[in-house]
Amino acid sequence: MWVVMGLALVCGFLVWPKQWGRRIKRGHGQNAPLLRGTGDHWRRNYGRRSFLRLGGASIVAGVLAYSGADEFLEDMHARQIKSHRTDVAAEIAKFLGERFWVTTWFVVAAFDAWWQSGPLSRWARSNFEAMVVGLPTLWIVQRGLGANRPSSEHGSPRWRPMVAANSASGHTFLAAVPWLNLAVRCGNRPLMVVSRLASWATGWSRLNDRKHYLSQIILGWTIAWNAVVAVNAPPTQPVEKEST
């Protein structure tokens, strides 16, 4: 509900009079539209390459779900790895995937657009824009495939369209976006590798807590990756017509 309300606010800000913002904050920041370039982001996120990546992830997820590998890995983790220590670590890792981060990134993005722009605020702005771009895909995959949680009464990774809404991990998506954006922006290769590895941490926490199967974590992460690629790609340049 809160995410839907947040996106409703986004729609309101899309039609926010730009002159009003400039009058209030004149002389500060870049005064750029909050969702500058969102049209290009959407076209890239729902383009051929993104669908190929998501299609590949769906094939992998389907193999895991229908081969029994999902259930085997979940059971093995629960019996051999899960402990009090992993529960504590999972609770920490889960934090970055909570829904309130959508609002948090929105607030900092608005600060970047209307007040003062800097590396931290631009990173947060990219996080918010990636979430706006990727959330519709996440919701469609979650409900469209209809798989259930391991901890539910009839837990199964197999797809049953429109029955449940857990086929892609929302926590994994929300938490992976900032880490993947950091990996794109940092110029230090070791830090980039660490950031990409960290983007899986919250997904692992969902496996540890028996909230998602591996296939569902992979789909959530892939949707985040597509959104981050779309937001960070160079803007589309208009084609200049040759003069006759």
Q: What is the pLDDT of residue 13?
A: 43
65, amino acid identity: A
Q: What is the pLDDT of residue 32?
A: 60
The angle that helices 170-185 and 189-198 make with each other, rounded to 10 degrees, is 180
- 93, 119, 138: which is closest to 184 by C-alpha? 119
**What is the distance between the alpha carbons of residues 109 and 241, in angstroms, rounded to a whole number?**
36
Using alpha carbons, list the distances in angstroms from residue 235 to 180, 185, 229, 232: 19, 16, 12, 9
- 241, 238, 227, 237: which is closest to 49 by C-alpha? 227
Query: Which residue in this structure is represented by tokens 């296939």?
Result: 215
Kindly report the pTM of this predicted structure.
0.81
Q: What is the pLDDT of residue 27?
A: 36
The one-digit pLDDT tens for each residue of the chain (244 residues) are 444 444 444 444 443 434 334 433 433 444 466 666 666 777 888 888 888 999 999 999 999 999 999 999 999 999 999 999 999 999 999 999 999 999 999 999 888 878 877 888 889 989 999 999 999 999 999 999 989 899 887 778 899 999 888 999 999 999 999 999 999 988 788 899 999 999 999 999 999 999 999 999 999 999 999 999 998 877 654 433 444 4
Judge contact between 38 and 230, C-beta under 8 A: no
Burial code (b: 16+ CB inside 10 Å, e: under 16) for 28-67 equals ebebeebbebbeebeebbeeeebeeebeebbeebeebbee
In the chain, what are the domain boundaries?
A: 53-232
